[in-house]
Structure 1
Amino acid sequence: MLDVGCLMLATMTPELQKQHEDMVAYEMIQDLKEIYEGQALQERYETSKALFQCKMSEGSPVGAQVIKMMGYIQTLEKLGFALNDELSIDVFLQSTVEGNMKKGRSKSVLMVHEAKGKGKKVEKSKGIGKTKPKGKEALKPNEGVSKDGKCFHCGKPGHWKRNCPIYLEDVKKAKAFRASVSGTGHEKESS
């Protein structure tokens, strides 16, 4: 214990030697922890703050960013706050991605298509709001189909899929088929 105490005193600055010359090794360790632990916490806070706020500037090399962030991560390890590999990778990716996300938002484009047909005016009723058409009126196009519009089912212009005679016939046949299949299924279950 005396040898360890002498070795510790030999590595200290003259000011610290004067403070600890009458202490044994264990007491020196405890006193040094009290003195420097607060500084270590402050340094850990500052280093982690710098690491998590680190952002890669546009046009800067990636290698410089990696070296800078690895320095912060190694300092944190020395201070007893080691980050696992997955978190280190996530922190690095966050530092590079945020700038790209901001760039993407500023260059967003909104496209608006002007309608070729004239819309039907909706009347207001007693100041409550707009009235909505009900029943079959809700399914009809406002002012007919535009000249460029084609049916999505048959591909012919002049009507929409919901009004397509071929589509409506196919729907009727499918319903009749389902009814006949389900009807025969019930007969088989009861027999």
Structure 2
Amino acid sequence: MASRNPLSVILDQNKLTGPNYSDWLRNLKIVLVSKKITYTLDKASPKEAPVNATPDEMEKLEKWSDHNLQARCYMLASMSNELQRRFEETVEAKDIHIRLQELYGA
């Protein structure tokens, strides 16, 4: 069984419904900081690796992709079912974050 981040319990108890956006975002950031992946909310994805990419470039791209997936899953898992359906096809955590800010942010 995979180990679970104990802080993710915070997100289980504080699912995003819309009006609670600022509280949810604060809790999400606590969890993402503990995983050292908060940057995925603000930074754009790296450019696709060119055909002649170095191993270092490939590793950087794969690391970002893994971190983005992890952040996206935390976000979706901590939303109401309605919001999950709205964002389930959104690939980047940053895009979900931007759209939620537009909808519910200050």
Q: TM-score, normalised by structure 2?
A: 0.35
Tell which structure's C-alpha radius of gyration is larger.
Answer: 1
Q: Which has the higher contact order (CA 8 A, sep 6+)?
A: 2
Q: TM-score, normalised by structure 1?
A: 0.19
